[in-house]
Structure 1
Amino acid sequence: MMAGSSLCSLAFLLQTGALCPVDLVESIYDRIDREDMDGVFVTLTRERALAEAHAARLRLREGRSHGLLDGVPIGWKDLFDMHASVTTAGSTVLADQPKARIDADVVATLADAGMVSIGRTNMSEFAFSGLGINPHYGTPINPHSIDEPLIPGGSSSGSGVAVATGLLAVAMGSDTGGSVRIPAALTGIVGYKATRGRYSMRGVFPLAISLDSLGPLTRSVRDTVMIDAGLRGCLLALPVRRACPTRLVVPTNIVFDNCDPAVVHAFDAAIGRIADSGIPVERRPMPCFSTIFELMGRHGALASAQAFVLHRERLSSPNVVEMDRRMVARARQGERMALSDYMTLQAERERLITEFNSLLAPGELLAHPTVPQLAPPLVPLLLDDDLFNHTNALMLRNTLIGNFLDMCAISIPCGPEGSLPIGFQLAAPRNEDDRLLRVAMELEQLIRAAG
């Protein structure tokens, strides 16, 4: 596969017979074997992938294509059950667990569409960090690193790097506080967080069940739309790119705090191009954003509380010494949350979701930087726990708002050529995914234009 090939272009080549699925899969594994792909995958599923590719080749030759995704390779974050493979969630403590008996629902759906599963992509252990660092399977290096290795963003780090390097056109991730959008922003690709529940979570290892959502990492919004359609079984009804009357709202509180000037400049340049195209843009405060962080300061974080319940037995077992100490420390914060605090947070969350939805008029979408900083160097974060925690909190800040308020959101690259990647996030209230994706397709070129 040529580096940077889009899902749409691969689909066209495969459907027309100009590209053979088996040759494509073999070229991917050849590149993995030939190049330094340390930390990108936890497990490669060669036998499965080659069997799926041979089946796709036969279907395509005989005119029995399963659809536009038939024969297209995909990577799966190491949270998704895959038949006859162990789901380790980026942790060695799960390595001796039984192999999955069946695929996760979304894996099965795309397998039925003819997609070819290349392997399990690496991630932050148990998906509990926005930086993408993994002490067990290695950390995928951001492909935009020059003089020193930069973090890829997490927790869907391997999925982000697999797409950003052009190895794959699409890889699946999960997003509990930004785990799809952060690696997308830091590696210069598109990352879409679907509304929680848009796709089935059955067979997906959780982190915080009231916040977890899924989404693909791709090279374009159109690719995202195609994979979203495949995940919902409606590839025959792809939305058409057309003018979408809309208005963008840029929040003036929280999301620009401690922003790198380069991020602000790139975002403002993109907003300027959008405004010049005739789309109204308004800057105004979103009080509920500030309230979220006030609530977390008083009561704690929902993600930590739910992660502690999920991992309670592991945290008290001898195996805890085999886990990332930073993940352990963060999960143990949830142990200190009183039931009254937890109930208050849940009630306030529902109130704030309703409040947020009422703040946006019909046709309005949010726009702001996906993350406030450029990808930082990896090595200092390995050596300094305080720096790690500070950077992790900053990287998660803008994106976790969308999970807390149950939004759907997409990150699109907006940085100028030659700079480190910068993400531009569009977001909409829950269950407005179709509108969000239509607007994102309409605005993508304006957002991406060099500035």
Structure 2
Amino acid sequence: VSIKDLIGVSGYPTFAGCPRELPEKWQAEGPVVQAIRHQLGVISGKAHTVQFAFGGMGANRHWGPPRNPWDAKDHRSPAGSSSGAGVSLHEGSALLAIGTDTAGSVRMPATVTGTAGIRPTPGRWSIDGIVPLVPSLDTPGPIARSAGDLAFGFAAIDPLLGGDVSGFLGVLADVDVSDFRIGVCDWYFANCDPGVAERVHEALAELEKAGARVSSATLPHLDDVTALNEVGGLHIGEFSSFINNEMRDYKDDLDPAVAIRLAAAENYTAAEHLRRVREVAHMAAVVDAAFGPFDAIVGPTIPITPPKMADIDTPETHLVANTLFVQNTVTVSLLNQCAATIPVGLDDAGMPVGMQIVCRDGFEETALGVALAFEHVLGTPRDRLGPSPMGI
């Protein structure tokens, strides 16, 4: 098991993507790592992260971004902020990767590396022992080579399932695509690069042919949530509070791609933060009611091809790409939903495309059941995508 370098592991210094290690208290193991040890999991090492997890492209001037294994020629984004998680699965150093997800940082690395991942609803998995970004949105989450492996890893660690892997997998053994009502939300298909929307629609056609009950779905407030994120969401308030109160000595070493986002907090007030918290809670309640008859609502996980790192090497170009990258994942986070992602094909640039499976808060078992049922029809990532050019 690889562990994101934001999560405390005894005996491993925690850097959180910084050029020097954090105080020793951040090595303390929380419930997620303790659960892995209880299951006799072998921790193979720490995986790269964007500094303080504040970014979705994988950029890190201090440690360098890992290479995306799907492009042997150009150094493309491995996504982030759990930038080493999906890569560790391809290099063979891990069978399961534990990242964290605030705005998409489990789902995005899983997508661009052609693997499967899930964001649990915040609060289901403890964030104790994890360096915070936005505590109200933060959650650890697993990434694996297939939906089957993902369900296994989730059950082994999940506190509600109590480590009953065989029992949970037994429940999922007979899932069928016809068991679920699937909504397709057109909003998620905006701004797609060539081949992204096409691969998702092709997969949906295969699933319908296999008996899936698929129909159009509309969710309110997605534009409103996006607009809120573009002015800092809840990130700038909660992260600026943490770094100014606990990590002030590290501010001078901030990666420029992180510093440009933190700068937006200079005139941010507590009153504005509370207003945003209330607004997000209201929108989440409205969207939950709008889920209606659907068990899950789907669309592309990321609308664009992971860019070449050389094309986003300034804070400004990085910020533009990051905004597009998180388009479909950050809405899930701010609306307090859970979501899984599975690969469905390669886009026109030969990079993996993910389908995001969005469920109501607390319905992780449904998200995993849908992912596994889809995988039964579409094949495992290895079946559907083939081997990555740089992976095992």
Q: Give the Å deviation of 1:386.
A: 2.1
Which of 248, 273, 277 is residue 182 of structure 2 equivalent to?
248
Q: Secondary structure at the match of 1:336?
A: coil
Q: Give the Å deviation of 1:92.
A: 1.9
1:141 aligns with 2:67: yes
Which of 287, 296, 309 is residue 378 of structure 1 equivalent to?
309
1:266 aligns with 2:199: yes
Within 5 Å, which residues of 2 pair with 1:19-30? none
1:286 aligns with 2:219: yes
Q: Secondary structure at the match of 2:43?
A: strand
Within 5 Å, which residues of 2 pair with 1:54-69? none
Does the 8 A contact of 2:185 with 2:219 survive in 1? yes
Does the 8 A contact of 1:315 with 1:328 survive in 2? no
Which of 241, 265, 272 is residue 309 of structure 1 equivalent to?
241
Once residues 332 and 259 of structure 1 are traced to their aligned partners in structure 2, the CA distance between those partners, rounded to angstroms, is 29
Which of 300, 317, 335 is residue 387 of structure 1 equivalent to?
317
Does the 8 A contact of 1:83 with 1:100 survive in 2? no
Once residues 250 and 350 of structure 1 are traced to their aligned partners in structure 2, the CA distance between those partners, rounded to angstroms, is 24
Once residues 450 and 220 of structure 1 are traced to their aligned partners in structure 2, the CA distance between those partners, rounded to angstroms, is 11
Does the 8 A contact of 1:91 with 1:323 survive in 2? yes
Q: Secondary structure at the match of 2:340?
A: strand
Q: What is the aligned partner in structure 2 of residue 90 from structure 1?
A: 17
1:189 aligns with 2:135: no
Pair 1:96–1:204, CA change in 2 (3 A)? closer
Q: How many residues align?
A: 373
Once residues 186 and 198 of structure 2 are traced to their aligned partners in structure 1, the CA distance between those partners, rounded to angstroms, is 15
Q: What is the aligned partner in structure 2 of residue 322 from structure 1?
A: 253
Greater radius of gyration (CA): 1
Pair 1:404–1:423, CA change in 2 (3 A)? same
For structure 2, which runs of at least 5 residues remain unmatched after alignment?
A: 386-392
Does the 8 A contact of 1:366 with 1:426 survive in 2? yes
Q: What is the aligned partner in structure 2 of residue 357 from structure 1?
A: 288
Once residues 289 and 224 of structure 1 are traced to their aligned partners in structure 2, the CA distance between those partners, rounded to angstroms, is 28
Does the 8 A contact of 1:75 with 1:120 survive in 2? yes
TM-score by length of 1: 0.78
Q: Secondary structure at the match of 1:398?
A: coil
Q: Give the Å deviation of 1:78.
A: 0.6
Q: What is the aligned partner in structure 1 of residue 340 from structure 2?
A: 410
Pair 1:324–1:260, CA change in 2 (3 A)? same
Which of 400, 406, 422 is residue 330 of structure 2 equivalent to?
400
Displacement over 3 Å in runs of 4+ = 99-102, 294-297, 313-317, 445-451
Once residues 326 and 284 of structure 2 are traced to their aligned partners in structure 1, the CA distance between those partners, rounded to angstroms, is 19
Once residues 4 and 311 of structure 2 are traced to their aligned partners in structure 1, the CA distance between those partners, rounded to angstroms, is 26
Q: Give the Å deviation of 1:416.
A: 4.3
Q: Give the Å deviation of 1:97.
A: 2.1
Does the 8 A contact of 1:86 with 1:99 survive in 2? no
Greater Cα shift, 308-317 or 425-434: 308-317
Q: Secondary structure at the match of 1:196?
A: coil
Greater Cα shift, 431-440 or 323-332: 323-332
Q: What is the aligned partner in structure 1 of residue 129 from structure 2?
A: 203
Q: Give the Å deviation of 1:354.
A: 1.1
Does the 8 A contact of 1:172 with 1:217 survive in 2? yes
Structure 2 letter corresponding to 1:103: E
Greater Cα shift, 439-448 or 77-86: 439-448
The sequence identity of aligned pairs, in percent, is 27
Within 5 Å, which residues of 2 pair with 1:133-172? 133-172=59-98
Q: Secondary structure at the match of 2:44?
A: strand
Q: Secondary structure at the match of 1:424?
A: strand
Q: Give the Å deviation of 1:229.
A: 1.1
Q: Give the Å deviation of 1:191.
A: 1.3
Pair 1:79–1:443, CA change in 2 (3 A)? same
Q: Secondary structure at the match of 1:397?
A: coil
Q: Give the Å deviation of 1:443.
A: 0.9
TM-score by length of 2: 0.89
Once residues 197 and 240 of structure 1 are traced to their aligned partners in structure 2, the CA distance between those partners, rounded to angstroms, is 23
Within 5 Å, which residues of 2 pair with 1:425-436? 425-436=356-367
Once residues 196 and 81 of structure 1 are traced to their aligned partners in structure 2, the CA distance between those partners, rounded to angstroms, is 18
Pair 1:99–1:308, CA change in 2 (3 A)? closer
Does the 8 A contact of 1:304 with 1:331 survive in 2? yes
Once residues 384 and 257 of structure 2 are traced to their aligned partners in structure 1, the CA distance between those partners, rounded to angstroms, is 38
Q: Give the Å deviation of 1:428.
A: 0.1
Does the 8 A contact of 1:151 with 1:376 survive in 2? yes
Pair 1:257–1:332, CA change in 2 (3 A)? same
Q: Give the Å deviation of 1:336.
A: 2.4
